[in-house]
Chains A and B, each alone.
Chain A
Amino acid sequence: MRQIEEQQIVDERKSTPACEEVASLIERAVGEKVNKDQLRIITDTSNFFQVNYGDVVSVGDDLLLVRGVEREGRFGLDDQPKDWVKMAIDLRSGDRKVLKLAFFETYHGNFGSVEYKFFRSPGKEARILDVVRGHPHFMQGYGITDTKGNVLRVLEYVKGVTVHEMIAEIKDDHETYFYKRLPDILASLVKAYEAIEYLHGAKEIHGDIRRDHLIVERDTANYVWIDFDYAYENSATRVGFDLLGLGNILSYVVGKGDVIMGELKKDNSELFSKLSENDLNIVFRTRLANLKKLYPYIPEKLNRVLLHFSRGANVFYESVTELLNDLKPCVVELLSLRRDAHGPRIR
Chain B
Amino acid sequence: MVDSAPRERSILISIDESENAQRAVDYVGRLVGNLPGFTVTLVSILEEPNQDILPSPDERDAYIQKQKKCLEAVLSQARDRLLSHGLDDSSVRIKIHQRLCENIAHCILDEQRLGEYGTLVVGRRGLSKSEEFLFGSVSQKLVTYANNCTVWVVE
Q: Which positions in A face B, CB cutoff 8 Å? A: 111-114, 116-117, 119, 121, 123-124, 203, 231, 233-238, 240-241, 243-244, 282-283, 309, 311, 313, 316
> What are some 6 contacts across the A-B interface (CB < 8 A)?
A114-B134, A231-B50, A233-B50, A237-B135, A243-B133, A313-B133
CB-defined contacts of A119 to chain B, threshold 8 Å? 52-53
> B46 within 8 Å of A by Cβ?
no
**With contact pairs A123-B52, A123-B55, A231-B52 given, residues A236 and B133 touching in the complex (Cβ less than 8 Å):** no
CB-defined contacts of A243 to chain B, threshold 8 Å? 133
Contact mask B107-146 → A, CB, 8 Å, 1/0? 0000000000000000000011111111111100100000
Could you tell me the distance in whole angstroms from the C-beta of B140 to the nearest C-beta in chain A?
9
- Nearest 9 A/B pairs, CB to CB: A236-B136, A237-B136, A121-B52, A240-B134, A231-B52, A235-B135, A124-B52, A112-B131, A283-B130
Could you tell me the distance in whole angstroms from the C-beta of A255 to the nearest C-beta in chain B?
19
Instruction: Considering the complex, give the chain B residue whose CB is closest to the CB of A115.
Output: B135
**With contact pairs A113-B131, A311-B130, A316-B132 given, residues A238 and B103 touching in the complex (Cβ less than 8 Å):** yes
Instruction: Considering the complex, give the chain A residue whose CB is closest to the CB of B140.
Output: A236
The answer to whether A114 and B127 have CB atoms under 8 Å apart is yes
Bound-state Cα–Cα, A321 to B127, Å: 25
**With contact pairs A113-B127, A313-B129 given, residues A236 and B141 touching in the complex (Cβ less than 8 Å):** yes
Bound-state Cα–Cα, A106 to B42, Å: 35
The answer to whether A114 and B135 have CB atoms under 8 Å apart is yes
Of B52, B133, B141, which is within 8 A of A283 by CB?
A: B133
Bound-state Cα–Cα, A243 to B130, Å: 12
Instruction: Considering the complex, give the chain A residue whose CB is closest to the CB of B51.
Output: A123
Bound-state Cα–Cα, A231 to B129, Å: 23
Q: Which of B105, B136, B141 counts the most chain A CB atoms within 10 A?
A: B136
Give the interface residue-count category, chain B: 20 to 34
> Count the A-B residue pairs with Cβ separation under 8 angstroms: how many?
71
Instruction: Considering the complex, give the chain A residue whose CB is closest to the CB of B128.
Output: A112
CB-defined contacts of B47 to chain A, threshold 8 Å? 234
Instruction: Considering the complex, give the chain A residue whose CB is closest to the CB of B104.
Output: A236
Could you tell me the distance in whole angstroms from the C-beta of A242 to the nearest C-beta in chain B?
10
Instruction: Considering the complex, give the chain B residue whose CB is closest to the CB of A313.
Output: B129
The answer to whether A282 and B133 have CB atoms under 8 Å apart is yes
Could you tell me the distance in whole angstroms from the C-beta of B66 to the nearest C-beta in chain A?
16
CB-defined contacts of B136 to chain A, threshold 8 Å? 235-237, 240
Bound-state Cα–Cα, A282 to B47, Å: 28
Could you tell me the distance in whole angstroms from the C-beta of B104 to the nearest C-beta in chain A?
5
The answer to whether A282 and B55 have CB atoms under 8 Å apart is no
The answer to whether A112 and B53 have CB atoms under 8 Å apart is no
The answer to whether A235 and B134 have CB atoms under 8 Å apart is yes
The answer to whether B127 and A233 have CB atoms under 8 Å apart is no
The answer to whether A234 and B130 have CB atoms under 8 Å apart is no
Of A112, A123, A203, which is within 8 A of B130 by CB?
A: A112
> B102 within 8 Å of A by Cβ?
yes
> B74 within 8 Å of A by Cβ?
no
> B101 within 8 Å of A by Cβ?
yes
Could you tell me the distance in whole angstroms from the C-beta of A2 to the nearest C-beta in chain B?
32
**With contact pairs A114-B135, A311-B129 given, residues A233 and B53 touching in the complex (Cβ less than 8 Å):** yes
Q: Which of A113, A116, A123, A244 counts the most chain B CB atoms within 10 A?
A: A113
Of B101, B127, B132, which is within 8 A of A234 by CB?
A: B101
Instruction: Considering the complex, give the chain A residue whose CB is closest to the CB of B144.
Output: A318
